[in-house]
Chain A
Amino acid sequence: MARKDIQLDHEVILSLVGAQSSVLDLGCGNGDLLYLLIKEKKVHGQGIEIDEQAIYKCVAKGLNVFHGDIDTGLAEFSDKSFDYVVLNQSMQQIIHVDKVLIDALRVGKQVIVGFPNFAYYKARLQLFFKGKTPVTGLLPYQWYETPNLHFLSISDFRDYCRSKGINIERRICIGEKRRVAILPNLFAQTGIFLISK
């Protein structure tokens, strides 16, 4: 497995997760991230995914995965049953985000959230100059076909955590190719937060 093949956001999450920990990946898709975490960090991984075809791909990789939706799938886990609960690129598609985040913080000792930054400069330019809903690399959908229910920025999520008394332990912002340290809410395409309560 060549290092360069790994998605940047997966690489960041890999760096946040402790070795041999337990990870619940909500909306694990084809299971690439879980696969990486198990292979590289020897974690005990469990996925939840709504798409049946994605389940078949996870099973082919040897992953443990539950077929179901995130909104109801979390409630059945006992408190702190995982070291990490991961919501990577899935939070913006959940109906009751607030409820799920609270539950994720109950089930996981720490929660890792990764989401596309709606205030990314390319999105701002499209909205400002073209007057159109932004379509970017990480927000590739037209308004009528997007699975995303929520559009938020890195600043939005920071404010949300503050208002809910959620600790932000790490925040790593990334652009198309590398991490972004300066003005992340403007220059970062993705925000990745390590949070706890």
Chain B
Amino acid sequence: MNKEKKIIKNDNVGIVQAQTFSFDSLKLESGEKLGPVTLVYETYGVLNQEKTNAILIVHALSGDAHAAGAHEGQDDPGCTPPYRIGGYATLGWWDAFIGPGKAFDTDKYFVICSNILGGCKGSTGPSSINPKTNKPYALDFPLIGINDIVNAQKHLIDHLGIDKLLSVVGGSMGGQQVLSWLVNHPNRIHSAVPIATTIRHSPQQIAFNEVGRQAIMADAHWKSGNYYDGPAPSKGLAVARMIGHITYMSDSSMAEKFGRQRKESNEPFKFTADFEVEGYLRYRGDNFVKRFDANSYLYITKAMDNFDASAGRPFCDRLRGVKAKVLVISFKSDWLYPAYQSKEIIKGCKLAGVQTTYCEVDSTYGHDAFLLEVEEETHLISHFLKKIFYDYEVTGVYGA
């Protein structure tokens, strides 16, 4: 299977525009109130008259509302291949999946993706202006949880007049949001697709996030979060991103991509990026700081670490009576969100009698697989959605 070819397929949704939606106030799980709240979102395809074809895509840690298509005249230098193609404007982070004839077929479905609460791509977050001080919130921004992020999305779905989403779909932290929808708002969704995710973070996952946070806070420019009128803690954020990228790949995908290939360099400094992999990580880190806010990174990773879809009870108890159908996908080489965590989700579904399908895709890409295994995921997702949308039990031919 030729992945590059798949990704560069030109049948995307074309030029898209971000929209904004604001509401007065959001009550957070901590009891605090945050307001006003703005969410930036994009939509692809057309909402049908009955409003039954809406799918919410929820993004991962570093993602944003721009999931598909391209923004007019914009060329984001922070975006790298395969999401940036030649001199072309930046394609959305899941463009390979969203468009005519793709997994989320925009000829059939209305696809919504919003930048999360706490983010830094237009939605209210720590870099937004605090109306009380007319300065960026910085650390005055309240601690938020995955459930708060989802509650903000629910406001948007209400605003769009959608009573019940056909599906909520996302990988990694997106998958955590999917699980939050499933246990907290099961009557607002017909189906849920959590990909490469977990009911709750393991100590290992928390540990990686903590090292990232410490790298940011150790940067002298961080200044307890009050850096918005000066230089940003770019070094710290870049290191956090480098650690992230290591955990998103697998031993074999790194070996295949870089080997022990040395970079050509004439720098006299002893600790230059000698190996390809070093250069890659530095490049990824340096690019990330151009498009991401360090305080957002702190708040969002903390939300991921604190999330527990089971709320301290057996997960199956939270799924009892859930009518939504579930498709769980994991990847064999993903060691950041290992398949056993997806199997925990499955176990809860089994015990609660939730109609569920599970596939562990044989991939070598590590956690990044959820962005890259286009063919397998497209097959699973498109058939699953068709079944939900047309509401049938089985299709096809006996013996096929």
**In the complex where A35-B394, A38-B394, A76-B350 touch, is A56 in contact with B376 (Cβ < 8 A)?**
yes
Are A67 and B396 in contact, CB atoms less than 8 angstroms apart? Answer: no
Interface mask (A96-129 → B, CB under 8 Å = 1, otherwise 0): 0000000000000000000000000000000000
Partner of B346, one of A36, A59, A66, A78: A66
- Chain A positions within 8 Å of B384 at CB level: 59
Say yes or no: is B81 at the interface (Cβ < 8 Å to chain A): no
Per the bound structure, the CA–CA distance linking A62 and B327 in Å amounts to: 12
Per the bound structure, the CA–CA distance linking A137 and B357 in Å amounts to: 32
Chain B binding surface, main DSSP class: mixed
Say yes or no: is B185 at the interface (Cβ < 8 Å to chain A): no
**In the complex where A64-B357, A76-B350 touch, is A1 in contact with B398 (Cβ < 8 A)?**
yes
**Nearest chain A CB to B135's CB is how many angstroms away?**
51
Give the number of chain A interface residues (Cβ < 8 Å): 32
Chain A stretch 55-108: residues in CB contact (< 8 A) with chain B: 55-68, 76-78, 81
Partner of A5, one of B362, B376, B399: B399
Are A62 and B398 in contact, CB atoms less than 8 angstroms apart? Answer: no
**Nearest chain A CB to B383's CB is how many angstroms away?**
5
Are B358 and A61 in contact, CB atoms less than 8 angstroms apart? Answer: no
Chain B stretch 344-373: residues in CB contact (< 8 A) with chain A: 346-347, 350-351, 353, 355-362
Chain A stretch 16-49: residues in CB contact (< 8 A) with chain B: 30, 32, 34-36, 38-39, 42, 45-46
**Nearest chain B CB to A74's CB is how many angstroms away?**
10
- Chain B positions within 8 Å of A64 at CB level: 325, 355-357
Are A59 and B353 in contact, CB atoms less than 8 angstroms apart? Answer: no
Per the bound structure, the CA–CA distance linking A60 and B392 in Å amounts to: 12
A36, A55, A58: most-surrounded residue (chain B CB, <10 A)? A55
Are B358 and A67 in contact, CB atoms less than 8 angstroms apart? Answer: yes
- Chain A positions within 8 Å of B399 at CB level: 5, 32
Say yes or no: is A181 at the interface (Cβ < 8 Å to chain B): no
- The residue in chain A whose Cβ has the minimal distance to the Cβ of B355 is A64
Per the bound structure, the CA–CA distance linking A81 and B392 in Å amounts to: 23
**In the complex where A5-B399, A62-B392 touch, is A56 in contact with B362 (Cβ < 8 A)?**
no
- The residue in chain A whose Cβ has the minimal distance to the Cβ of B387 is A62
**Nearest chain A CB to B101's CB is how many angstroms away?**
16
**In the complex where A64-B355, A66-B346, A77-B351 touch, is A52 in contact with B362 (Cβ < 8 A)?**
yes
- Chain B positions within 8 Å of A66 at CB level: 346, 350, 356-358
- Chain B positions within 8 Å of A81 at CB level: 353
**Nearest chain A CB to B57's CB is how many angstroms away?**
20
Per the bound structure, the CA–CA distance linking A6 and B397 in Å amounts to: 11
Are B396 and A60 in contact, CB atoms less than 8 angstroms apart? Answer: yes
- The residue in chain B whose Cβ has the minimal distance to the Cβ of A77 is B350
Partner of A61, one of B343, B376, B395: B395
- Chain A positions within 8 Å of B243 at CB level: none
Are B394 and A61 in contact, CB atoms less than 8 angstroms apart? Answer: yes
Partner of B357, one of A6, A35, A59: A59
Are B356 and A59 in contact, CB atoms less than 8 angstroms apart? Answer: no
Are B347 and A35 in contact, CB atoms less than 8 angstroms apart? Answer: no
**Nearest chain B CB to A40's CB is how many angstroms away?**
10
Per the bound structure, the CA–CA distance linking A64 and B361 in Å amounts to: 16
- Chain B positions within 8 Å of A42 at CB level: 393
26 sampled A-B residue pairs with Cβ under 8 A: A1-B398, A39-B394, A39-B398, A42-B393, A45-B393, A52-B361, A56-B359, A57-B400, A58-B357, A59-B357, A59-B359, A59-B383, A60-B379, A61-B394, A61-B396, A62-B386, A62-B387, A62-B394, A65-B358, A67-B358, A67-B359, A68-B343, A76-B346, A76-B347, A76-B351, A78-B351
Residues of A in contact with B (beta carbons under 8 Å apart): 1, 5-6, 30, 32, 34-36, 38-39, 42, 45-46, 52, 55-68, 76-78, 81
Given contacts A1-B397, A35-B396, A68-B358, 4 further A-B contacts (CB under 8 A): A52-B360, A59-B380, A61-B394, A78-B351
